[in-house]
Amino acid sequence: MTRSTVKALADDASEEPQRSLIVNLNGYKGATGLFLLHPSFGSVHCYKAVAMALRGEMPVYGIICRALIEPQSQVPSWSEMVREYAEQILDTQPEGPCFLGGWSLGGNLALEVAEYLEARGRTVAFVGAIDAPPPMHVSAFWDRDRTMVEEVVAAGSDDDKRIELLTVMFGESAEAIEQAWQDIKHSDRPAEQRWKKFAEWAELHLGQAFISLCDELAQGGELEVSWALKRVLDERLQDADYKPLLAPISCWWAARSKSEMDRQVIQSALEKGTGQRLNASLVIDSTHDRIVDNPEFVESFARLLKEARH
């Protein structure tokens, strides 16, 4: 991810691993870029739709979790992630206004990175939080359904892990994958036969791309690494907070994942904690997992970012 061309791989082959966590997602070269913070899977490929929408206007950088590219590294504490990501932004863009965003947990990171940058005298001209959850102390949100919180923290079965990763990998088929799995999961089929039945469905509907992944998914490996990283990053949310900001904040909400009451609770806590009324609050007809590449979201995100730049 950090070496996106064959030449970059060849040039770096004999060097020590680079420290940068910043990936240029659209190849655009320019002085001022958009920095998108990783969600809880630690990667930034989810931002490709936004990056491509802006490919003729500005660089779009993803900031990935260090533990994803350095498996021997522990996931940093929340405050250390905020500090390191902000410092890497300062190194990449030493001057000019900063534009930040993030989906899910990445939205929480973007808000606190913005506060860190402002405390060091930098202007943050845009913060986009995309269906981001509130900090854990916002009990009006988290306490309304304790079962939901426990499900977020719980590891889940190996089959459930595989299905969640597949909905990310095959975004255009996410709803079909989830529906097929639920049908199989709630059938009278024995648990040990469910994955085999789903694999038969997936080979037919997802084709060779799924077949190539099948052995790896069944054996764990990368699956376990990715899921372990997600669990730890989800737990780091306990240390997140809303802090005073000068930067304008825009939010996007997934209508099929957060109710109107959820949105009101989060927005109220966000405005109180940051001392800012939201610049924009847009509801997109999507699920949490699919909002980040939803065309309506991408268009509105690019539009508000353009307004912030001019």
pLDDT in tens, 161-190: 778 778 877 777 888 998 999 999 888 888
For residue 91, give the nearest of 38, 22, 3, 15 by alpha carbon: 22
Residue 29 sits in the same domain as residue 173: no
Residue 55 lies in a domain: yes
- 75-97 pLDDT per residue, tens: 999 999 999 999 999 999 999 99
Residue 90 lies in a domain: yes
Say what the pTM is.
0.79
Size of the chain, expressed as the number of residues it contains: 310
Residue 249 sits in the same domain as residue 120: yes
Band of residue 117 on the pLDDT scale cut at 50, 70, 90: very high
Residue 141 lies in a domain: no
Q: Of the residues 181, 212, 232, which one is the last residue of a structural domain?
A: 232
Residue 72 lies in a domain: yes
Residue 299 sits in the same domain as residue 221: no
Residue located via tokens 């690019």: 302
Residue 123 sits in the same domain as residue 38: yes
Residue 67 sits in the same domain as residue 213: no
Q: Is the per-residue pLDDT at 156 higher than 70?
A: no
Least confident of 97-101, 210-214, 219-223: 219-223
Q: Of the residues 232, 254, 277, which one is the last residue of a structural domain?
A: 232
Q: Is the per-residue pLDDT at 297 higher than 90?
A: yes
Residue 124 sits in the same domain as residue 273: yes
Mean pLDDT score, 276-303: 95
Tokens at 172, concatenated: 């255009």
Residue 92 sits in the same domain as residue 207: no
Residue 196 sits in the same domain as residue 294: no
Report how far residue 80's alpha carbon sits from residue 54's, in angstroms, rounded to the nearest whole number.
30
Better-predicted residue by pLDDT, 82 or 206: 82
Band of residue 210 on the pLDDT scale cut at 50, 70, 90: confident
| H/E segment holding residue 35 | strand 34-37
Report how far residue 254's alpha carbon sits from residue 107's, in angstroms, rounded to the nearest whole number.
14
Residue range(s) defining the domain that contains residue 210: 153-232
Residue 285 lies in a domain: yes
Residue 1 lies in a domain: no
Band of residue 221 on the pLDDT scale cut at 50, 70, 90: low
Residue 206 sits in the same domain as residue 252: no
Look up the CATH number of the domain holding residue 274: 3.40.50.1820
Report how far residue 95's alpha carbon sits from residue 253's, in angstroms, rounded to the nearest whole number.
31
Residue 261 sits in the same domain as residue 119: yes
Residue 146 lies in a domain: no
Residue 187 lies in a domain: yes
Report how far residue 252's alpha carbon sits from residue 303's, in angstroms, rounded to the nearest whole number.
13
Q: Is the per-residue pLDDT at 48 higher than 80?
A: yes
Residue 225 sits in the same domain as residue 262: no
Domain count, the chain: 2
Q: How many Cα neighbours within 13 Å face the side chain of 284?
A: 23
Q: Of the residues 197, 232, 267, which one is the last residue of a structural domain?
A: 232
Residue 221 sits in the same domain as residue 273: no
Helix (H, G, I), strand (E, B), or coil: what is residue 297? helix
